[in-house]
Every structure is written in C-alpha cells, then in structure tokens.
Amino acid sequence: MCAPAVSTRPSETPEAPPEFVASLAPPPPGPAVAFVLRLGHALHRHGTPAHRLEGLMKRVSERLGLEARFFSTPTSIFASFGPPEDLRTSLIRVEPGDMDLERLILLDMLADDVIHGRLTPAEGARRVEDILARPARYGPALQLLCWMLAGASAALLFGGGWKEMGVAGVSSLAIGVLDLLTRKQPTTARVLEPVAAVLSAAFAGLAAHFFGPLHGEVATLAGLIVLLPGLTLTIAVNEVATRNLISGTSRLTHAALIFLQLGFGAALGSRVATVLPPVPMPTPALPTVLPPGVALVALVVAGFAIAVLFRARPRDWGWIALAGAAAFMGARLGALLLGPQLGAFAGALLLGIGSNALARLRNRPAVTTVVPGLMLLVPGSVGFRSLASLLERDVVAGVDTAFSMLMVAVALAAGLLSANAIMPSRKVL
C-alpha cells in the first residue's frame, strides 16, 4: 500500500471555540468598580490632590477585594482593574471644581461605610450621586459677604490701614460678584483672573486719586487674595515631593499661568489712574499702624471667610479658625526667630501636627483644617510681588522674590510631610 501523502504546508490554526473567544473580553464592571470610579471622580472634582486621591481609591479597592491601579492628573483619572495580563482600564475626564470641604467629609464617611459593610457598593455609588446633587449650603449673599471680609482682613494682615481695608473689601466684593456671574459659563470663567486684577488695581488707583494717598500694592494684593494661586503652588510642590511628578508639574504650570494673568491685569488696571486729571496731593503717607488686637480680629474674620468660601460645615468653623490662627502665629514667630522660610516650615509643621491629632480624635479627614490653615501661609502674595517687580523691569528684585516664593512653598510642603511622619493621621484625606 502506498503511504498517504504528507502536506508540506503549515497547518492552519484551528478556530477557537466560542467560549474561549468570549473569555478574552474584559469582565463587565461590577458594583464595586462602579463605586470606586464614582468616588474618585467626586473627590477629584472637589479639589483632592493626586497623592491623597490615589491613596484613598487604592485603600477602598483593597478593602473591596479589587486589584487596581490609579493614576491622577489635575484633569483626569486613569483606573485599571484586574491582573496585569488582563486589565480593564477606565479614563475619567474631570473638570476641576471648587474646594468643597463638606462634600469631601461626606465622601470620606461614605467610603468608610462601604468598607465596613454598612452599605453595599451599589448603594454607595448611588449615595455619591446624592452627595454631588446636594444644594449649596451657603447662598450667594453670604458668599459675597465673605469675599469682602477676606479682602478687608487680608489688607490688615498685609500691613495696610483703614483705607486699604476699605478698597480691598470693595474690590474683592466686585470680584466675587463677577465670579458668581461667570461660574456657569466656561468661556467667560477662564478670563476671571485677568479681569479681576484689572478691577482690583483700578479700584486702588481710583481710590488713591479721589480719597488721598494709600498703599496701592497692599490694596490691590488684598483685593485678589481669594484668587492668588498660592494654595495651588503649595499642593503642586507637595505632589512633586510625594513622587506624583506629572500632576505636580501640571499644577506648577497652572499656578505660573495664573500669576502671569494676574500680573498682566494689575499692570493694565494701574494705568487707569494715569488718564485722570492730576490732583494735588500731599506726600504719600505710610499705612496706618493698627493695634495688635485688630490684627487678631482680622485673623479670626479671615478664618471664617475662608471656611465659608471653602464650604466647610458650621460645626467646623471654630476648629478652622483655631488652626488658622495657630498656623499664622507660629509662622510669624518662626519668621522672627529663624527667617521667613523656616518660619513657614514651623507654621506648616504646627498646622499639620494639630490637624492630624484632631483628625485622629474626631475620626474625620485632616483636610478640614489643613487646607483653610494653609490659605493663611501660602506664598501667593510673594509671587504677586515678584511678578510686579518684573513688570516694572526690576529683574533682580523680581527673581529674588520668586526664589523666596518657591522656598516658602517648599518649606510648607516639608512641614506638612514632617507632620505626617510625626503624627500620622488615620485618614487618607
């Protein structure tokens, strides 16, 4: 018998069975994955830094039995679930929103409820949407009042007198009205910073023209206090220090752009007074030196205004005012003894240790007092002065002030990191 012919062509791969092909597709998302994604999106929208956001999402995923990896930037979140060879990755595009301390606390409490089994992940996902849909606690009238109080108290803390306080309060109130009008219109909200700087500098120039001499730089700077990106700069340095390099450098670029916009607007607004007819005036006088008690009152008022603008719960107002006052006084005392950079380090260290200890005692996130307290320490005013010097072509003073601003931001980040090492908080936020 003849042997059967052997084919020299390579054999074709047999078609995979239908059940094998179906197994190649990533598994459908479950309620646990949906909860983690919605929680991360909500936290990101309300100002959570990258290192804290990724840490909380990782902690929740581990407690729910998920193998997950996260990567956060200021405008997006990448989340991958499953083993490395079979990942399911989601991209969430986020438009950064305003800091909302109350919602952050509620989201943190919700995460604890899901982790400890008091709520199912499906119920937790629905609760996230309910928290985001909550109406604003504070109405426009109170918010505008706090804009004005923040500007007026900042003028006193910057060394201004009653005139500077009045001008800064009026200009900050006008900027608050502009913010409320443009908040829901992205095309106009993007030009808020330069327009606000024009208004603040123009008000300061007009007030000096009609009501006598005043410290125009203090009035302009205090009027812009809410928009100064000092907090963004400090968070950016903190993210870089915690190895979140992409998020940190993105925030640094954003902070630099805001400084440039504010500087351009202030330079443009300062020209308003030059077109007015000259008015004979006496020699400009120094700002009025106010008694220390007034500065203490301004510090408390500033803490209240920041608490409302950051939408903190009324029950936290006292803790926020106490934390802000302790941080500010610690930084001032440290600056007198050690210099401005080490003074900022001392203030941030004191703020971080106190906030973490309070968070452990109350079982609440430390961010409740850390963020408002940082607002009284951040180097936004130093950066604005640096840009003003550069616009006046005083390059040496501008570069020197900019370097001081960066050193203060690094000192604040180092103080917070040291506080976390000395007194760790039970909470990720």
pLDDT in tens, 149-200: 998 988 888 778 888 888 989 999 999 999 888 887 777 777 888 888 888 8
What are the beta bridge partners of residue 69?
80
Burial class (CB in 10 A: 0-12, 13-18, 19+), 27: exposed
Angle at Cα 368 formed by Cα 146 and Cα 159, nearest 5°? 45
Residue 10 has pLDDT above 50, yes or no: no
User: Cα Rg for the chain, rounded, in angstroms?
Assistant: 26
With a CB cutoff of 8 Å and minimum separation 6, the contacts of 246 are 73
Pairwise CA distance, residues 370 & 421, whole Å: 15
219-264 confidence digits (pLDDT tens): 888 888 888 887 888 888 888 888 888 888 888 888 888 888 888 8
For the ranges 103-112, 175-184, 355-364, 386-395, the lowest mean pLDDT is seen at: 386-395
User: Does residue 38 surpass a pLDDT of 90?
Assistant: yes
Taking the model in full, what pTM does it have? 0.80
The candidate with the shortest Cα–Cα distance to 233, out of 76, 405, 414, 46, is 405
- 408-423 mean pLDDT: 85
Closest C-alpha among 43, 132, 30, 131 to residue 90? 30
